[in-house]
Structure 1
């Protein structure tokens, strides 16, 4: 059989057609079919991983969950048997190409379906409610090593928890103000508090070093109003949602240490996912999206909505209420297949211990 595979040659046009019909796992296994497939596969997969197009993550409605990844511009749906064979799991988020999920025993399972990698992190440091979106998560890797960090913020806790693989343990961060979001920019983990203050998460101690900004916007935390942090095109952006329909966007100028209010999103597209998770993409037209648009996953109605801005104003949008905790539980059957999030497969966050300095 091996000799047959070595001598078999298929036209590249045919290989391209075949690749469009295969799922992730099939792409890995198809290498034994044809000799020149392996060469084609390396090029195809390198381009696939490098693509900045966000994939829409969809969960099945059956009791035994399965996950699909949808390319809207290319009308392509991928499935992953690697994820589907693991059960029960509660989806928490996507970061650095990994899907991050929890099990009933509080452990975290990190799965990269694009590279067929899986990591398990045991956890006895804190309790995680076994439901989808019970916590916010961020996965980052140390530069020039295989070490990694998992940042976790549970909805029912004021503490921030960070797992460090080099110590095989969790570190608890306690702060005067509640941390509500975090991102990686320039190999540094930045956080934002419910008062719109910006800080840097220390990797060598359980401290958050607050930036001395010249000004901060007035923010009020209610059931609808909230503050979030995103990184895009080398900048920190702070989103201040005043209501379900009104929001402001600020850029943090780290050279002047000040907030700068933006009148439009410019050449940026904003993506909203359930539980007030946001992503931003510059030059979105390169990947099938538009400038100054907001793309919303409406979990309450199982819809995917698009809101357009004009040349001088931010897009107008309406954010629906997220379904109750019970409706997000992993073991509850759904009549529809909800969209959970977006996965930016090309993003691989890296952090640097040497940048851990006091501001």
Structure 2
């Protein structure tokens, strides 16, 4: 019988880095030498080169995650999923309390109620002054973004957007949210997307305005307004260290075309992108958790093709858009017809 436990450490690390993320976790539980190899490989492990999970709803409150790598289904505890973040964390609600939850690790972090918010503005923010106010109950968080994974860093910031109360952020260790004002002299519009990119929280609203958080002033800062002819439903995505905006356009029944632009926040410009190279995008319409996957020597992306965009169509069918020829095709994940597909999740630590 082969002595798998006695394989060289560098070979075990190479194997670990190529596994689907749930297999990577199982790999580290086999024996002492494999656990050591998994721990050593963790820093170099690329979640972006692994297949995403598909989140589905079964019934009113039950959420499940389907992994294409092994055809397995993971069930979520009985909490209502409010929204998802690109970093693999969910915002879940249990009664009147919201928590961050990582379905991969099982870590849950309770957040302060959004009704308890610190208000800073102008000179008071610069002087470090604040006032604490309790707002009306029942405020719902609709979008979230995280500066870093709470399981990897004790110092992180959660940015949120609520249709009813706007932007706010919460720093780890604090007991309340801090209110964020919208850009001066700009009317308020619905925010489509909120992500963390290159050290900045970035938001895109219904008027094609891209804003970033000025944390010192507790205010959103207008960076640029995208062209008026770029219509459709927009998605903010980080891909290959670039900030992209993808627009889906439809003919009344289904999505027929997707245009992609690369955004330069410093120079306040954007230009159309014709190819994603060795990457693909996954778009989520009802959250800010759109993300990219990258093809490399350690990829584990069964059924997924490079230079494609994966999305849920208007009829909730899972489809892909080929950036090479513009063709739209049905993308089949083997899930039950009784399950309602909600969106894609990129599991991460």
- TM (normalized to structure 1)? 0.67
Q: Identify the residue that residue 343 of structure 1 maps to in structure 2.
A: 345
CA–CA distance in 1 between the matches of 2:216 and 2:70? 45
Change (3 A) 1:136 1:275: same
CA deviation after TM superposition for structure 1 residue 47, in Å: 6.9
Q: Deviations over 1:89-137 (max 9, x none)?
A: 23411342322212331x22212233342101131426345xxxx7122
CA deviation after TM superposition for structure 1 residue 35, in Å: 4.4
1:296 matches 2:307:
no
CA–CA distance in 2 between the matches of 1:29 and 1:161? 38
CA deviation after TM superposition for structure 1 residue 201, in Å: 0.6
**Counterpart pick for 1:68 among 59, 65, 81:** 65
Change (3 A) 1:137 1:45: same
CA deviation after TM superposition for structure 1 residue 48, in Å: 6.1
CA RMSD of aligned residues (A): 4.2
Q: Identify the residue that residue 151 of structure 1 maps to in structure 2.
A: 159
Name the SS for the 1:141 alignment partner: coil
Q: Deviations over 1:298-352 (max 9, x none)?
A: 5844x43223232xx5x34499xxxxxxxxxxxxxx9712333223234x8xxxx
Contact 1:219 1:240 in 2 (8 A): no
Q: Identify the residue that residue 138 of structure 2 maps to in structure 1.
A: 127
**Counterpart pick for 1:258 among 255, 259, 269:** 269
Q: Identify the residue that residue 170 of structure 2 maps to in structure 1.
A: 163
Contact 2:193 2:287 in 1 (8 A): no
Contact 2:170 2:176 in 1 (8 A): yes
CA–CA distance in 1 between the matches of 2:149 and 2:300? 29
1:245 matches 2:256:
yes
User: What pairs with 1:284-323 in structure 2 (closer than 5 Å)?
Assistant: 286-288=299-301, 289-298=304-313, 300-301=315-316, 303-310=317-324, 315-317=326-328
**Counterpart pick for 2:238 among 231, 237, 256:** 231
User: What pairs with 1:104-115 in structure 2 (closer than 5 Å)?
Assistant: 104-105=95-96, 107-115=97-105
Aligned length: 300
**Counterpart pick for 2:85 among 85, 90, 94:** 94
- TM (normalized to structure 2)? 0.68
Q: Deviations over 1:232-264 (max 9, x none)?
A: 122111223343333422112345431212234
Change (3 A) 1:298 1:104: farther
Q: Identify the residue that residue 133 of structure 2 maps to in structure 1.
A: none
CA deviation after TM superposition for structure 1 residue 149, in Å: 1.9
Structure 1 unaligned runs (5+)? 1-8, 320-333, 349-359
**Counterpart pick for 2:228 among 218, 222, 240:** 218
Change (3 A) 1:150 1:262: same
Contact 1:138 1:152 in 2 (8 A): yes
Q: Which structure shows the bigger proportion of residues in helix conformation?
A: 1
Change (3 A) 1:66 1:46: farther
